C-alpha cells in the first residue's frame, strides 16, 4: 500500500462530508488538498499502524470518517491514534463496522478503472478527482481557472463526460498539447501506448 493511494481515498471520502457539501451549496470553489510531504508522511504512519495491528489501511481510513459521522474530514495529524485508549476504541470501531457502502463503492471504482498489470497515468487516464474539479469549474463557467490548473485538472480529455460539455475544449486541447512533446490526444484515445509516449519524450529530451 502506498501513501498516494490513501491520499486519493481521503480526497474521495471528503466529498461525502457534510462540511464539504455545505460549502459546495454555498458556491465555494473547493480545491483538492495539496499532496505535501508532511501529509504523505502522516499517511505512511497510518499504513505502518495498520500493518502492526493487522487491519486494512484503506478501510481504517474510511472508519475515521465514519467515526465523525461524515460531518467533516479527520485532521491529517489525527489519523493515527495518539494513546492506547484511543487506539483500542478505533480498532474496536473498525472491527464492528458492518455497513460500508462508500468504502465498497470506492473499491469497486478502483477495480473497474485500473487494469491488473497497469498503473494510473495522468497523461492517459481519467482521474475521478480531476473530473470532480472540472465539474465544479464548469458549473460556474470558470474555464480559465480550469485551464490554468492543468496540473490538477489534467486538461482536456476526449473521453471525459465533463469536457464534452465544455465550450473551450479546442483551446484547452491546444494548451495541453503544447505542454508535452508527444501526441497526448493519441495517448488518451488509446492510439499510443504509455511506453511509446515515453520513448518520444526521451528522444525529444535527448535532442533539446
Residue 1 has pLDDT above 70, yes or no: no
pTM over 0.75, yes/no: no
| CB 12, CB 128: distance < 8 Å | yes
| CA dist 114 → 2, 110, 120, 174, 191 (Å) | 15, 6, 7, 28, 18
Terminal-residue alpha carbon distance, the chain: 37
Q: How many C-beta neighbours within 10 Å does residue 19 have?
A: 13
Residues in Cβ contact with 137 at an 8 Å cutoff, skipping those fewer than 6 apart: 29, 143, 145, 146, 153
pLDDT mean over 147-162: 90
Task: Calculate mean pLDDT across residues 155-164.
Answer: 91
**Spatial separation of the C-alpha atoms in residues 69 and 72, rounded to whole Å:** 8
Amino acid at each position: 500500500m502506498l501513501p498516494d493511494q490513501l491520499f486519493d481515498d481521503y480526497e474521495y471520502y471528503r466529498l461525502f462530508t457534510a462540511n464539504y457539501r455545505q460549502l459546495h451549496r454555498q458556491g465555494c470553489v473547493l480545491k483538492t488538498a495539496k499532496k505535501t510531504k508532511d501529509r504523505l508522511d502522516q499517511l505512511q504512519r497510518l499504513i505502518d499502524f495498520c500493518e502492526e495491528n493487522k487491519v486494512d489501511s484503506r478501510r481504517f481510513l474510511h472508519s475515521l470518517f465514519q467515526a465523525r459521522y461524515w460531518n467533516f474530514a479527520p485532521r491529517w495529524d489525527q489519523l493515527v491514534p495518539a494513546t492506547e485508549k484511543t487506539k483500542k476504541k478505533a480498532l474496536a470501531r473498525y472491527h464492528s463496522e458492518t455497513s460500508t457502502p462508500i468504502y465498497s463503492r470506492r473499491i469497486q471504482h478502483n477495480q473497474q478503472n485500473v487494469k491488473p498489470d497497469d498503473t494510473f497515468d495522468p497523461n492517459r487516464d481519467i482521474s475521478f478527482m480531476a473530473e470532480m474539479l472540472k465539474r465544479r469549474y464548469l458549473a460556474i463557467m470558470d474555464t480559465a481557472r480550469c485551464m490554468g490548473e492543468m496540473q490538477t485538472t489534467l486538461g482536456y480529455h476526449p473521453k471525459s463526460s465533463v469536457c464534452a460539455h465544455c465550450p473551450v475544449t479546442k483551446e484547452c486541447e491546444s494548451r495541453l498539447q503544447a505542454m508535452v512533446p508527444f501526441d497526448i490526444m493519441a495517448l488518451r484515445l488509446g492510439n499510443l501506448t504509455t511506453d511509446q509516449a515515453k520513448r518520444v519524450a526521451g528522444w525529444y529530451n535527448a535532442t533539446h
